[in-house]
């Protein structure tokens, strides 16, 4: 068994334990393997192990890897490969993003709603978009302000964009639990079922607080260079 195969098993076991402790079903939490900076050769062992859900944070990088990997793994009984964008998106790359990805976790401003809606109409392809919330009110981070969630949600839906939930990246180096709990409350207030939260260092806490998608890179692939 390859190293990343073992890491996948370990993460899945930790996920199952955390779900059980929270009295949640393990299948209600999905693992997005964050493959940014990893080469196709580093990614293949996870695909070979049957994992099908991945995340990237840059359009260009994803375009250089995923069309080929999708084709390589399109057959078989594991279902299709799914790739989500988890990084900030410039409006001028909206069309490329809609073509490349199966979901976008970084919808954070009205101008991007407009660009994505236009791209979806043009390509006749609809993909779900999660609203990213700047949960720690950090100036350097992407995400909309907490007070703007409802209007952004309304704008996206009016433009025909499906919004299943909220996403956040809490401030580094502090206990993430209060931020995860806040995101969960905001999702509930807006009747949104999905929560994209939790990374390698804190996904068990995120699961306890209601995450339906966790985004894990380092714990699966090792440290990034």
Ligand X SMILES: *Cc1c(COP(=O)(O)O)cnc(C)c1O
3-state secondary structure of 91: helix
Q: Does 218 bind ligand X (CB under 6 A)?
A: yes
**Least spacing, CB of residue 172 vs ligand X, in Å:** 10
User: Contact with ligand X (CB under 6 A): which of 87, 143, 170, 176?
Assistant: 87
The conformation of residue 33, written as its DSSP 8-state character, comes to E
**Residue 216 near ligand X by CB under 6 A:** yes
Any alpha helices (H) in the chain, and if so which ranges?
Answer: 3-21, 40-48, 59-72, 94-100, 110-123, 149-158, 177-189, 203-208, 218-221
| Tokens encoding 97 | 């993003």
* Structural contact between residues 2 and 45, judged by C-beta atoms closer than 8 angstroms: yes
**What's the min distance (Å) between Cβ of 201 and ligand X?**
6
Q: Which of 4, 57, 134, 205 binds ligand X (CB under 6 A)?
A: 57
Residues 6+ apart with CB under 8 A from 60: none
CA nearest to 224, candidates 14, 1, 64, 34: 34
Min. distance of Cβ 113 from ligand X in angstroms? 19
- Of 90-98, 108-116, 117-125, 213-221, which segment contacts ligand X by CB under 6 A? 213-221
CB of residue 85 vs ligand X: minimum separation in angstroms? 9
Q: Which helix (H) or strand (E) holds 176?
A: none
- The answer to the question of residue 34 lying near ligand X (CB under 6 A) is yes
Which of 71-79, 89-97, 185-193, 211-219 is the region at the interface with ligand X (rule: CB under 6 A)? 211-219
Contact window for ligand X (CB under 6 A) among 3-11, 68-76, 113-121, 212-220: 212-220
Q: Is 215 in the site for ligand X (CB under 6 A)?
A: yes
Shortest distance (Å) from residue 75 CB to ligand X: 29
The footprint of ligand X (CB under 6 A) covers 34, 36, 57, 86-87, 169, 199-200, 215-219
């Amino acid at each position: 068994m390859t190293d990343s195969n073992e890491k996948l098993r370990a993460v899945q076991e930790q996920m199952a334990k955390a779900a059980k402790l929270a009295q949640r079903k393990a299948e209600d939490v999905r693992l997005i393997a964050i493959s940014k900076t990893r080469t196709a050769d580093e990614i293949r062992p996870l695909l070979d192990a049957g994992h099908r859900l991945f995340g990237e944070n840059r359009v260009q990088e994803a375009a250089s890897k995923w069309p080929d990997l999708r084709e390589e793994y399109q057959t078989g009984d594991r279902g299709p490969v799914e790739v989500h964008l988890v990084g900030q998106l410039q409006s001028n790359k909206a069309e490329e993003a809609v073509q490349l990805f199966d979901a976008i976790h970084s919808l954070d401003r009205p101008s991007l709603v407009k660009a994505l809606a236009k791209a979806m109409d043009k390509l006749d392809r609809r993909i779900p978009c999660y609203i990213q919330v700047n949960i720690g009110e950090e100036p350097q981070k992407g995400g909309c302000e907490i007070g703007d969630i409802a209007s952004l949600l309304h704008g996206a839906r009016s433009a025909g964009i499906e919004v299943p939930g909220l996403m956040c990246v809490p401030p580094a180096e502090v206990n993430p639990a209060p931020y995860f709990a806040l995101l969960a409350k905001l999702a509930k207030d807006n009747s949104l079922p999905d929560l994209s939260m939790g990374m390698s260092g804190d996904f068990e806490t995120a699961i306890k607080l209601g995450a339906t998608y966790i985004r894990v890179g380092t714990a699966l692939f090792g440290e990034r260079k």
